Amino acid sequence: MKKITIDPVTRVEGHGRVSVHLDDNGKVENAYFHIVEFRGFERFIQGHPYWEAPLLVQRLCGICPVSHHLAAAKAIDQIVGLDPKDLSPTATKLRRLLHYGQVFQSHALHFFYLASPDLLFGADAPKEKRNVVNVAIENKELARKGILMRKFGQEIIKAIAGKKIHGIAAIPGGVHKTLFPDERAYFLQENDTPSIDTMIEWSKEIVDFIKAYHHKNFQWLDGFADFPSGHLGLVRDDGALELYDGRLRAIDSQGKVTLHDVPCDDYLKYFTEGVEKWSYMKFPYLKNLGRKDGWNRVGPLARLNVCDYLSTPLADKELKEFKSYYAGRPNNSTMHSHWARLIEMLYCAEEMKALLTDESILGTDLLREGNRRPEGIGIIEAPRGTLIHHYQVDEKGMITKCNLIVSTTHNNEAMNRAVRWVANKHLSEQKEITDGMLNRVEIAIRAFDPCLSCATHALGKMPLKLEVFDSENNLVAEKIKSAE
């Protein structure tokens, strides 16, 4: 038996490894996506006062710290006796604006910096070419827009949280600062950062770009790593997409509802996690369907599959077109995640405009108080999918238990299925393992926009690698790139 290892897998956030095991005839016997980093955030946060949680846990990640900050804040709101509806309208709107800015900048980062080299240059392009620098040099207009779109989201974060990474916005029961008129005006006017109207216009353009790309490359995008799965996401009471606070809905690969709009506080009734000895990342699944059938994808593709509509007009129009492609059936085409991600960018841009032009976002009623509870649960839709934070505290307010189920963890089984799909399709019974073949494995993983540092709660250098082993477990091929 041979074994192939990709180590590190590149252009993802975090450190992991792919190993592919081949039999004596070179046929794929098995393929695994191993997550080999470990952090222990859930453990070392114990003993800290509850109000520190939103500050500490955002250190899980440098890309989506806002998501962890807000999920933890929602949980801590409950510990101070407040459910989401109890917060002041201004505080809720500021948190939402922060969240949309975060999703917007994270999606821009993923599409323009991480995914676009695969789409623009192809899986078989020389590895020296498949990077954002060459995207920038050969597609200057696209690059300039991508940079400014990410910047816009980051500036929204900075205006509300004080800085672009690891700022502070939410405090127990609300937010610590309002948005000032001059700060709001910055986003409504053209400056060195374009206005929100320009962001909407550019978001629409980039959705048109991916649709045109799909039109030319539909065979690859439709069929690559296409496999049935469940889909999970938050929805509003009326079924609309919800990113900040909603109910949990899941469907299976045929569209049958497997989790019917349940309150977030009840998540433990429905979810549990499995473990495998070859990965530090757990495998969440729905209890009623079991480990084999209860796993779900999360993230943009899953969210657009589970929701009924989008609450903003331009993005909703795009959603209808997106859903019509498979005649309303769930979309299981992994590469359509990119299309879905860009529709969500448009949605976030429209939502940001609605909030920025809402006078009450300048309000000063920022903080509410309630009666202490021993437990809090906060669930939001982070850029990469459903993010769960759950804390218990003692009578002194010290954290005694912390459970984090992050987006990438929900996608663990789906990413492993994607790796197996590519291994079977492109690595099995090949005389020679080429760089392009190995890159296809990375492309499949990359479509999920995994954040492996979040998922393992890891610290330090975070590359991913791919290895191929023979039937006697000898390494016969590997792909390693420094993450430095």
Partner 1 sequence: MNSKDTLLIGIGNNGRRDDALGWAFLEAIEKSGLFEGEVYYCYQLQIEDAERISRAEHIVFVDAYQGHLKEGCEWVSCKPSGNFTFTTHAFTPTSILYLCQELYQKLPPANILMIQGQEWGLGEGLSERAQINLQKALSSFYEKIMTKTI
Please say which residue, 27 or 481, places its beta carbon nearer to partner 1.
Answer: 481
Shortest CB 10 distance to partner 1, Å: 7
Q: Is the dihedral of CA 388, 392, 398, 403 positive or negative?
A: negative
Please say which residue, 165 or 240, places its beta carbon nearer to partner 1.
Answer: 165
- Looking up tokens 């492109």 gives 426
Shortest CB 148 distance to partner 1, Å: 7
Shortest CB 146 distance to partner 1, Å: 8
Residues 155 and 309: their CA atoms lie apart, in Å, by: 28
Please say which residue, 126 or 223, places its beta carbon nearer to partner 1.
Answer: 126
Please say which residue, 148 or 475, places its beta carbon nearer to partner 1.
Answer: 148
Shortest CB 415 distance to partner 1, Å: 18
Please say which residue, 164 or 420, places its beta carbon nearer to partner 1.
Answer: 164
Q: Which is nearest to 361 in space by CA: 101, 53, 119, 9? A: 101
Please say which residue, 80 or 115, places its beta carbon nearer to partner 1.
Answer: 115
Q: What count of other Cβ atoms lies within 10 Å of the Cβ of residue 180?
A: 11
Where along the sequence are the contacts to partner 1 (CB under 8 A)?
10-11, 62, 113-114, 131-133, 136-137, 140, 143-144, 147-148, 150-151, 154, 165, 192, 481-484
Shortest CB 116 distance to partner 1, Å: 12
Residues 351 and 353: their CA atoms lie apart, in Å, by: 5
Q: Is the dihedral of CA 133, 106, 200, 327 positive or negative?
A: positive
Shortest CB 9 distance to partner 1, Å: 11
Shortest CB 18 distance to partner 1, Å: 17
Shortest CB 11 distance to partner 1, Å: 5
Residues 422 and 374: their CA atoms lie apart, in Å, by: 46
Token pair in block for residue 219 = 């065979």
Please say which residue, 67 or 154, places its beta carbon nearer to partner 1.
Answer: 154
Secondary structure (H, E, C), 414-483: HHHHHHHHHHHHHHCCCCCCCHHHHHHHHHHHHCCCCEHHHHCCCCCCCCEEEEEEECCCCEEEEECCCC
Q: Which is nearest to 19 in space by CA: 481, 473, 451? A: 473
Cis ω for the linkage preceding 65 (within 30 of 0): no
- Looking up tokens 């492309």 gives 443
Please say which residue, 35 or 241, places its beta carbon nearer to partner 1.
Answer: 35
